[in-house]
Structure 1
Amino acid sequence: MRLTAIWHNRIFPALKSNVRAASPSPSPFMVMVRKEMSDHIRSWRFIVLLLMILLTCFGSLYISITHLPEALSNANDPNRDFVFLKLLTASDGSLPPFHVLLGFLGPLLGIGMGFDAVNSEQNNGTLIRVMAQPIPRDYLINAKFTGAIAVIALMFVSLSLLLTGLGMIITGLSPSFEEVLRIAAFVFICIVYVAFWLNLSILFSVKFRRAATSALTAIAVWLFFTVFYQIIIGMTARAFAAPAGSRGSYMLQKFLVTLIDIAPGKLFTDATSTLLIPSVRSLGPLSIRQMQGAIPSSLSFTDSLMVVWPQLTGLIAATIVCFSISYYLFMRREIR
């Protein structure tokens, strides 16, 4: 009995305190990141957006599976050997492929996760309490972005693994190494694309005090690039049209095509289409001399990556610029 009392009163508390002291305490930044991830996962907003993407994914997968035998029976198709890529690109016209629908839903996911990242904290009074703690100020804005992008990356990686697993069960085949690389690159581009809209919405959340104003501004920017951007460029082309065949007409056409190509949605569509359809050899117009003698075939993963390298770097650069501006504005903002 005496030994038991000594164990419970002296030895066990000492061992427990030593273990607690030896275990490293999590850093404040990681605590804030885990808190942001938990808030996103538990929010109904994220759950609704996730269900929308899942519904779109399964709908596109069903259409591609029903259209898959017809697509694989085409002997003139240079992409018929890439079965798992066909699951993401094959369609019968009733529903666009998954990567096209993702270019439409991805901005909504990014905007929905970031439009009230900062201003909601300030309106609820929690921002002052967090800033009163002995932590660097930039931990908050960095944790907002890191937590949201971690949830987005986890969602897209899980979704790609789910699609690959269903494809293996349905077709009875396993993906080749090149198909795995292309799907992984597709997932990375999706994460970068959603991260751009996430940073843009966080920027508006820092700039505007009300969450409704930041949400409407972000949606207006998305609608501008999705609907009105090409219409404005087309009207500009007709207004300043030069005589056909002249050098001025060629330069104007090239400039307008460049303006269309730098839109975020166009960058995403071009990059994903080239990676998921290996037979795409160029994203710009080809002359008759360039197409003469060309044999329809698929490019290697390295060649396709070189084709989409400008689009990929453009998306990454736009994401970094938006985050840098929001970081600068937040660090210079007076919080009361």
Structure 2
Amino acid sequence: MVAKEATDHIRSWRFIVLLALIILTFFGALYVSFSNIKAAVSNVQDPESVFLYLKLLTTSDGTMPPFHVFLNFLGPLLGIALGFDAINSEQNNGTLIRVMAQPIYRDNLILAKFVSALIIVSYLFSALALLMIGAGVFLTGVLIEPAEILRILGFVLISVVYVGFWLSLSILFSIVFRQTATSALTSIGVWLFFTVFYQIAISLVVKALLPNQPVLTELAVTRYNELIFNLLRLAPSQLYSDATTTLLMPSVRSLGPLTMEQMAGAIPSVLPFKESLMVVWPQVSGLLAATVFCFAMSYYLFMRREIRS
């Protein structure tokens, strides 16, 4: 069943269009990175200049964002496209009751739809990472460091989890709503809310909570900044951005506001992979928890649903 679902995804036009769009943005961002890689690695003041392959994923001259920024925008569309009609299209076409009439367990169907899409996304991101490494070795002749392999692997895994969240959410809507157009619009509406309107809403709420004082103390400013950051991290895109930025930029030591006392005496250096992973572990845990919750709700609703033509 997993192989059949994966084949259906690969042959669908919406997946082919999104695949072409992601590959085009990847090669565009990679071209910009290669054009500016000499200036990026020759800066002796930058502690990250020794990580050539991480620079390929983060370097930009302002004309195009880095690839992980593009993926923050395109990843949800990929997950939604793979899952918004997972169940309701089967029911509308009359094939769901035929499949359930076969000697298979009901949960195998929804598991196959979720796992097959995740396998495709995993192969896609792994292939792009290998293409980037191969192009770097071919054009520069510099071998990749083990620390860079771990960080790129972490970036790929977090990207798969991020797309998996939107996939599980769209599958949930495909079970709740009978019409595929309704489930697609609801999924896209949730994505637009967190991408565009959520930050605006948070800014308005925090401004309303600010006290009417001309000057705020440093402690008050720190508390309000922490409140803003904590509220923004309820958005999956913010969790993904924090996690990928920290893994791909080893010099990032904190994701929250820092006081002058904390910055005093700090020496610019890179963190080991384990320390960077500890910094972003709350973000990774949040994405995993949201993905598991959405899929668990989909599983529960589908198992209790009455299937009829």
TM-score, normalization by structure 1? 0.88
Say whether residues 1:262 and 2:231 are aligned partners.
no
- Report the equivalent of 1:43: 12
Say whether residues 1:298 and 2:267 are aligned partners.
no
Say whether residues 1:330 and 2:299 are aligned partners.
no
Deviation at 1:253, TM superposition (A): 4.6
Percent identical: 60
- Cα deviation code 1:59-83 (max 9, x no counterpart): 0000000011111121100100000
- Cα deviation code 1:281-315 (max 9, x no counterpart): 11111111111111101111111111111001110
Answer whether contact 1:241 1:249 (CA < 8 A) is retained. no
- Report the equivalent of 2:129: 160
* Number of equivalenced pairs: 305
What is the alpha-carbon distance in structure 1 between the residues aligned to residue 250 and residue 219 of structure 2?
34
Deviation at 1:255, TM superposition (A): 2.8
- Report the equivalent of 2:98: 129
Say whether residues 1:66 and 2:45 are aligned partners.
no
- Report the equivalent of 1:55: 24
What is the alpha-carbon distance in structure 1 between the residues aligned to residue 209 and residue 32 of structure 2?
43
| One-letter amino acid matched to 1:75 | V
Deviation at 1:134, TM superposition (A): 1.5
Deviation at 1:254, TM superposition (A): 3.1
What is the alpha-carbon distance in structure 1 between the residues aligned to residue 132 and residue 224 of structure 2?
43
Distance 1:302 1:249, change over 3 A: closer
What is the alpha-carbon distance in structure 2 between the residues aligned to residue 318 and residue 269 of structure 1?
16
Deviation at 1:237, TM superposition (A): 1.2
- Report the equivalent of 1:312: 284
| One-letter amino acid matched to 1:101 | F
Distance 1:127 1:184, change over 3 A: same
| One-letter amino acid matched to 2:74 | L
Say whether residues 1:285 and 2:285 are aligned partners.
no
- Report the equivalent of 1:29: none
Equivalent runs, 1:3-152 vs 2, <5 Å: 32-152=1-121
Task: Give the secondary structure class of the aligned counterpart of 2:105.
Answer: coil
- Report the equivalent of 1:178: 147
Distance 1:272 1:248, change over 3 A: closer
Answer whether contact 1:64 1:86 (CA < 8 A) is retained. yes
What is the alpha-carbon distance in structure 1 between the residues aligned to residue 241 and residue 64 of structure 2?
16
Task: Give the secondary structure class of the aligned counterpart of 1:308.
Answer: helix
| One-letter amino acid matched to 1:330 | F
| One-letter amino acid matched to 1:268 | Y
- Cα deviation code 1:257-295 (max 9, x no counterpart): 211122100000110000000000111111111111111
Which has more radius of gyration?
1
Answer whether contact 2:47 2:268 (CA < 8 A) is retained. yes
Deviation at 1:235, TM superposition (A): 0.7
Deviation at 1:136, TM superposition (A): 1.1
What is the alpha-carbon distance in structure 2 between the residues aligned to residue 254 and residue 271 of structure 1?
17
Structure 1: runs of 5+ lacking an equivalent: 1-31
What is the alpha-carbon distance in structure 2 between the residues aligned to residue 290 and residue 240 of structure 1?
27
Task: Give the secondary structure class of the aligned counterpart of 1:74.
Answer: coil
- Cα deviation code 1:61-116 (max 9, x no counterpart): 00000011111121100100000001000000110000111100000000000000
Aligned-pair RMSD on alpha carbons? 1.3
